[in-house]
Amino acid sequence: MFHLPILYPITDRQLSRLTISEQVRLLASSGARLIQLRDKISPPKQFQLDTAEAVKVAHEFGAQIIVNDRVDIAQTVSAHGVHLGQDDMPPEAARRLLGDHRLIGFSTHNVEQAVEAAKLPVDYIAFGPIFPTRSKQDAAPVVGLEGLATIRKAIGQKPLVAIGGINLKNAQQALKAGADSVALISALYENPNEIPQLVSEFLTLQRQG
Beta carbon of residue 101, minimum distance to ligand 3NM (angstroms, whole number): 25
Question: Which amino acid makes up residue 105?
Answer: G
- Closer of 165 and 178 to ligand 3NM (Cβ): 165
Among 129, 147, 159, 178, interactor with ligand 3NM by CB under 6 A: 129
Torsion of CA 12, 14, 15, 20, to 10 degrees: 40
- Regarding 166 and contact with ligand 3NM (CB under 6 A), the answer is yes
Contacts of 23 (CB under 8 A, 6+ apart): 11, 12, 13, 16, 35, 54, 195
Q: What is the 3-state secondary structure (H, E, C) of 172-204?
A: HHHHHCCCCEEEECHHHHCCHHHHHHHHHHHHC
184 binds ligand 3NM (CB under 6 A): yes
Binding mask of the shown chain, residues 12 to 51, with x at each position contacting ligand 3NM by CB under 6 A: ----------------------------------------
CB of 152 to ligand 3NM, least distance (A): 16
Site string for ligand 3NM, 90-109 (x = CB under 6 A): -----------------x-x
Strand-pair category, 124-127 with 103-108: parallel
Q: What are phi and psi of 99, to 5 degrees?
A: 80, -175
Residue from 5, 9, 91, 165 in contact with ligand 3NM (CB under 6 A): 165
Residue 63 or 151 having the CB closest to ligand 3NM: 151
Q: Which of 9, 81, 105, 128 binds ligand 3NM (CB under 6 A)?
A: 128
Query: Binding of ligand 3NM at residue 136 (CB under 6 A)?
Result: yes
Phi, psi of 98 (to 5 degrees): -90, -20
| Buried/exposed 9-26: b ≥16 CB within 10 Å, e otherwise | bbbbbebbebebbbbbbb
Q: How far is the CB of 114 from ligand 3NM (least distance, A)?
A: 11
State yes or no: residue 164 binds ligand 3NM (CB under 6 A). Answer: yes
Number of residues near ligand 3NM (by CB under 6 A): 18
Residue 82 sits in the site that holds ligand 3NM (CB under 6 A): no
Site of interaction with ligand 3NM (CB under 6 A): 107, 109, 126, 128-129, 133, 135-136, 139-140, 163-166, 184-187
